[in-house]
Amino acid sequence: MKPTVLLTNDDGIGTAFLHALVAACQAEGFVVKVAAPSGERSWIGRAFSRHRKVTVAAYPSLGDEAWSIDGTPSDCVNIALSHLLRQKPDVVLSGLNIGFNATMPLSLSSGTIAGAIEGTAWGIPAVACSLDLEQAIFARVHRTSAECPPELRPHLETACRHAARFAKALVGQPHRGLEVHSLNYPAGVTDTTPMERASPALVRHGSLFQPSELGYRFTWNDGKAIELEENSDLAVLERGLISHTLYDFSQVGRI
């Protein structure tokens, strides 16, 4: 019997990055179910839509079955697992995110990682995957996320193939606690790019808002590293390698 993967993301169900991941998972032999936000829900962390109704609509011609959900990534995975899927999937895979999800502050803010966290909260192996992009490419993809620039396509497909294989390797493996694998791919990833275990870089961003006419608007900055560590996810990416961070939330606070 084919294993089943549940896919989600935080960039929206119509993105080329998610559709490429669907294709890679199908090629890897998965039954592919998709439950993803109807539009972008980035930087939303592990938010749930507590005070409003969440609508769900079938999304044809994507994977084996797909739903567009007007909610957060956590909403999507929770609703799919509790109401939409007839049986529990073998793995939850969240991504492929437009841009990296490296460093501790970004990981805590990421809707992509939150989607994977919701999977592991149900006792399912869970993976979040993200592709680092040069700023000019990021701006192009963000503007027209349903399309992938031709020069980026080989790297996107490589990252998706790797993520699908990584998820496949977790099928049938013991899953204890609350573990999430976070994969960050360098912009120029190829089939021969090595993967290295990493820890989240500790960075302080300070203000992320600038005054505007109506108050304040979000403005990204790279922040400042508290400690420069060779095995941080940011350092691994900067060396052109695939960063693999394992978040074990069941160990937080234990001595």
The pLDDT tens digits of the residues spanning 97-123 come to: 999 999 999 999 999 999 999 999 999
pLDDT of residue 124: 97
| DSSP H or E run through 23 | helix 16-27
Number of domain units in the chain: 1
CA distances from 119 to 75, 79, 109, 211, 249 (A): 11, 11, 17, 38, 13
The contacts of residue 228 (CB under 8 Å, 6+ apart) are 235
Which domain, by its residues, includes 99? 4-251
CA distances from 153 to 35, 37, 184, 238, 242 (A): 23, 23, 17, 21, 17
The enclosing domain of 179 has a CATH number of: 3.40.1210.10
Beta bridge partners of 68: 36, 57
CA distances from 3 to 48, 88, 97, 127, 169 (A): 28, 10, 23, 15, 11
The pLDDT tens digits of the residues spanning 227-244 come to: 778 899 999 999 999 999
Q: What is the DSSP letter of 80?
A: I
Tell me the pLDDT of the chain averaged across its residues: 95
**Higher pLDDT residue, 223 or 75?**
75
The answer, yes or no, to whether residue 255 has pLDDT greater than 60, is no
DSSP per residue, 111-158:
HHHHHHHHHHHTT--EEEEEE---HHHHHHHHHTTTS--TTTHHHHHH
